[in-house]
Structure 1
Amino acid sequence: MRLHRNLVFAVIDGLHEIFNEGDYADKVVQKLLKRDKRWGSRDRSFIAETVYEIVRWKRLYAEIAEVKEPFSREKLWRLFAVWATLRGIILPDWKQIAPTPTRRIKGKFDELSKIRKFRESIPDWMDDLGEKELKKQWDKEISALNQQAPVVLRANTLKSTRDKVRGLLEDENIDTEFVKGYPDALQLTERANVFSTEAFKNGLFEVQDGSSQLVAEFLDVQPGQRVVDTCAGAGGKTLHLAALMQNKGQIIAMDIYGNKLKELKRRARRAGAHNIEPRVIESTKDIKKLYGKADRVLIDAPCSGLGVLRRNPDAKWKLQPEFLDTIRKTQAEILESYAKMVKPGGKLVYATCSILPSENQNQVKDFLTSEIGKNFTFTKDKKILSHESGFDGFYMAKLERKL
């Protein structure tokens, strides 16, 4: 592979913004890709993939390169040199690249690969916590969470079918395959820009991970019901609920962030989902108004996001152990408060994109012994680990309110 100076400079600039200025990797990459209109799809994918790779393996590469944060530009070039060397790329004779001890890099890589926290490039606290909560499964799980996530689509059944979407994408030279056990899913056989396709612009599909596609189905919604999606965000699961309800009934999509609900409105228009009513949560009054009124309630709770590290590798470095203590309290409060919206005989699903029992099974267990929780019976739950499913790590539990 021949390295192009302007592309590598873009990578270094991006890493500087992520590591030294605390910007989010996805936003930085989006901005970088607009820098030069002459870049083709291969150039753009080099930038995106290289930035994400170096972010993902930051701890390992920094250890090999013998550099510590904050990373000066000189140190970022050393990280890049490690990345390139480990990929067998011959480094050009540029003044930014110091002579690179290829053999020492490879030797150090082999040595560090014997120690999990370096091999999987994670902070000590995360390694300790993963082992404590997941025991023997942690080894396989963290390894799976360091793989690049596949691109999975969900055919929008309000407008099309999975077969039709597959055919239309094929016409645009994008190959997909069906995924067993996921009725509306199509997985790309190789990465491509699906957002520029006519099928996407016409709202025939959404990009949505396989695990995430199981949540709306788990809620067991029926056309004509009143459903509340309490932490709707930009609405991936809300749109799936609308499709499962065939646009009949009412979905109240709630969130504390108005800008996310604006994005949901835009997506709902494109998807032809007409039964969604976005509502910003401005105070507890907005929740109380709905007490005892919903047939179904989805709580897609805020969480550590450890199940989605494959698509957000910078979360490994931004996440702090103190945040976990705070988020667990928030989860318990949300469950306690939002559960009151379920009417007798109605159902509730509590879901997270975390793999930690302390955010999942333990939260549900504690809730069921609380004052409001005693009105509910546990129906079933589903734990999804990345190394078993090939998709994101997820958890969902279904509870039913007693009559």
Structure 2
Amino acid sequence: MRTNVRLLAYRLLRKCEKEKFLDREDVDSVLSVLNDKDRRFLKELVWGVMRKEELLDWYINQLLRNPDIPPAVRVALRMGVYQLLFMDGVPDYAAVSETVKLIKNENFRKLVNAVLRRVKSVPPPNDLHLVYSHPKWIVDYWNSFLPEEAVLRIMEWNQKPLPTVLRVNSLVTTRDEVIEILSKEGTEAIYGKHSPFSVVIKKLGVPLNDSKVITEGLATVQGESSQIVPLLMDLEPNMKVLDTCSAPGGKTTFIAELMKDKGEILATDVSMERLQLVEKHVKRLKLSSVKIKLADAERLIEFIQDEFDRILVDAPCSSLGTARNHPEVLRRAKKEEFKELSEKQFRILSQSWKLLKKGGILLYSTCTITKEENTEVIKIFVEQTPDVDVIDLRERLKDYRVEGVWDGFGFLMLPDETLTSFYVSVLKKTG
């Protein structure tokens, strides 16, 4: 059975290598046919290999005369090396023999066998980008504008799995009730550290999609970083709120819950298919204050003629802050794309600002770690906009026990047990 699990992992990693993207639907499809033990094995192997790609390749290349080997062979070698160096429960002979079986070509079988039998004799590297397994150019880039300790913290936490976190629907239940229901289903959960609405899953019993807390709208799967964003908007019942890039709807529905489902929330997105995800969330949570509208946020005033008390611009971005769950984002990132994305984000921000009432608040957020998409977008906007005040978030985020870097325009949340890197900037319209 273990051989089949390795083969399934190999196929997922091969596809990810080709497409620079791991389709979570593919993963879910594979996991659905496995027992709990094999699920854990596959997830550790797949995500472990993805997280440690640079380090694994370094070990492999130390033992190759010519590192130019077929991608299929390299993926198998990564799997074998990961099992040998990082999976204590896997016997060495099994890691070697089962990896060799993945290779069809006899010559490459011999090469794989030779590399795996010698890899434990290679002294570990000293370079930090290898120790923490990040592309060197990204580490150099981060070091150009972030404190060294922040970069180290980001790299360190990117090597660790991110626990599943729920957001409790405060309209209908409490954290204690949700934890009690989960306990009856065999799931261990505790209070989250940062959001007063968060519950962290420690050990899963019933699959969450089948859990009463999800099917009956008592909670929503949402990371703590994402939960912090609406908490900074100073929301009150009966406000008019616009969420410009709302799909898949996690923040939209949290806004509605924080407003006691009273008021008007307009959720827009450029994709009708993705707006259907928002609608699905809204229906599951039985919310009445949310309306959805197809609209291109870069041309927002062509679609909407209204004014809002609060606006959320959770902008499309390069997503580098999601690397704990999506390690592949680090390998497909291209520096030239940061500038292209920042221009798109600036257009969305500028359009959204025109729809904000005087005295209103706009929150700009991304889940990435680039100067272009974060600091520079807000800095240029503030320089060109006379009726804007930047709100200092340091004390507010301290209240939520969030640590990070303040750049004068916004705050980069730094990761910990349940947080991922998120950038937030709160702007108030004066006059």
TM norm structure 1: 0.91
For 1:64, which of 50, 59, 69 is the aligned residue? Answer: 59
Asked whether 1:79 is paired with 2:78, we answer yes
- Relative distance call for 1:77 and 1:102 in structure 2 (3 A) is closer
Asked whether 1:186 is paired with 2:199, we answer yes
2:35 match: 40
Asked whether 1:301 is paired with 2:301, we answer no
Asked whether 1:400 is paired with 2:431, we answer no
1:232 match: 246
1:172 match: 185
Residue type of the alignment partner of 1:12:
Y
TM-aligned CA deviation for residue 273 of structure 1: 1.4
Q: Distance in 2 between matches of 1:291 and 1:397?
A: 25
Residue type of the alignment partner of 1:275:
S
TM-aligned CA deviation for residue 107 of structure 1: 4.0
Q: Distance in 2 between matches of 1:21 and 1:377?
A: 42
Greater mean alpha carbon deviation, residues 305-314 or residues 281-290: 281-290
1:203 match: 217
Q: Distance in 2 between matches of 1:138 and 1:204?
A: 37
Q: Distance in 1 between matches of 2:342 and 2:28?
A: 31
TM-aligned CA deviation for residue 399 of structure 1: 1.3
User: Where does structure 1 lack aligned partners over 5 or more consecutive residues?
Assistant: none
For 1:320, which of 329, 334, 354 is the aligned residue? Answer: 334
- Relative distance call for 1:74 and 1:63 in structure 2 (3 A) is same
Superposed, which structure 2 residues align to 1:369-380 within 5 Å?
Answer: 369-370=383-384, 373-380=385-392
1:385 match: 413
Q: Distance in 2 between matches of 1:71 and 1:312?
A: 24
TM-aligned CA deviation for residue 386 of structure 1: 3.2
Q: Distance in 1 between matches of 2:175 and 2:115?
A: 51
Q: Please say if residues 301 and 351 of structure 1, whose CA atoms lie closer than 8 Å, have aligned partners that are also in contact.
A: yes
Superposed, which structure 2 residues align to 1:126-145 within 5 Å?
Answer: 126-136=138-148, 137-145=150-158
Deviations 1:350-402 (A, max 9, x none): 111123344223322221111xx211112223534334574111121211111
- Relative distance call for 1:6 and 1:202 in structure 2 (3 A) is same
TM-aligned CA deviation for residue 151 of structure 1: 1.4
TM-aligned CA deviation for residue 283 of structure 1: 7.8
Residue type of the alignment partner of 1:345:
G
Q: Distance in 2 between matches of 1:198 and 1:70?
A: 49
Asked whether 1:26 is paired with 2:24, we answer yes
Residue type of the alignment partner of 1:79:
R
Deviations 1:146-198 (A, max 9, x none): 21112111101122111111110011111111124421011112355322212
Q: Distance in 1 between matches of 2:269 and 2:312?
A: 12
Q: Distance in 2 between matches of 1:126 and 1:232?
A: 29
Q: Please say if residues 21 and 328 of structure 2, whose CA atoms lie closer than 8 Å, have aligned partners that are also in contact.
A: no
Greater mean alpha carbon deviation, residues 338-347 or residues 133-142: 133-142
- Relative distance call for 1:390 and 1:267 in structure 2 (3 A) is closer
TM-aligned CA deviation for residue 286 of structure 1: 4.6
Q: Please say if residues 19 and 71 of structure 1, whose CA atoms lie closer than 8 Å, have aligned partners that are also in contact.
A: no
Q: Distance in 1 between matches of 2:378 and 2:19?
A: 37
The Cα RMSD (Å) is: 2.3
Q: Distance in 2 between matches of 1:268 and 1:305?
A: 25
TM-aligned CA deviation for residue 132 of structure 1: 0.7
1:54 match: 49
Residue type of the alignment partner of 1:132:
S
Q: Distance in 2 between matches of 1:282 and 1:363?
A: 19
- Relative distance call for 1:330 and 1:280 in structure 2 (3 A) is same
Aligned residue for 1:17, secondary structure, equals helix
Deviations 1:236-269 (A, max 9, x none): 1001001011111111101112111101101111
Deviations 1:16-47 (A, max 9, x none): 1100244434243123224x3xx212222322
Residue type of the alignment partner of 1:187:
V
- Relative distance call for 1:388 and 1:169 in structure 2 (3 A) is closer
- Relative distance call for 1:20 and 1:350 in structure 2 (3 A) is same
2:133 match: 121
Q: Distance in 1 between matches of 2:19 and 2:160?
A: 25
Q: Please say if residues 352 and 396 of structure 1, whose CA atoms lie closer than 8 Å, have aligned partners that are also in contact.
A: yes
Aligned residue for 1:356, secondary structure, equals coil
Q: Please say if residues 242 and 311 of structure 2, whose CA atoms lie closer than 8 Å, have aligned partners that are also in contact.
A: yes
For 1:155, which of 168, 171, 174 is the aligned residue? Answer: 168
